[in-house]
Amino acid sequence: MFVLVRHSHAGEKKQWHGPDVERPLSPLGHEQAHGLVAALSGIEIETLLSSPTTRCRQTLLPLAQARGLPIHDEPLLAPDAPPDELFAALHRPDADRAVFCTHGEILNALAEFAQARGIPGLPPSGATAKGGVWFVDCGADPPPALRYLAPIPAG
């Protein structure tokens, strides 16, 4: 099983005047990021992989601190990454027990890539709120089982 996370709320792109890669989480986004710790309690996690953007790294930071795990930058999770390469990476054995934090546009592109090829087992396009989590259990029987968890504010 692996976990796909859409980064938490990061405000509006139009209101951020720096490079988009540096856009941080909003106060709501920080609450959602802390809520991720509770949302993933009881889930075995070995690896945290993040888009190299500030907002994705900040989304995983409370989880990394709670679990004592480093956050690894993964270019395949960046906003302009090719969905076919990420799809292949998600199906490698080392994806098991990993948390992948990425962007809505990547989750949508991944879903459209899989759907166009008749491949089940990924979240539908447009179905993930900021801070939302998908549990993807590949198990023994295809198609993979999906479970969605809406963002949970800390508290």
Tokens of residue 147, six digits: 């479970």
Tokens of residue 70, six digits: 């480093």
Q: pTM, whole model, 2 decimals?
A: 0.91
Residue 39 reports pLDDT greater than 70? yes
Q: What is the mean pLDDT of residues 37-63?
A: 97
CATH class of the domain whose range is 29-134: alpha beta
State pLDDT tens for residues 61-74: 999 999 999 999 99
Query: What ranges do the domains of the chain cover?
Result: 29-134
**Tokens 């934090």, located at residue:** 101
Contact at 8 Å (CB) between 106 and 76? no
Residue 154 reports pLDDT greater than 90? no
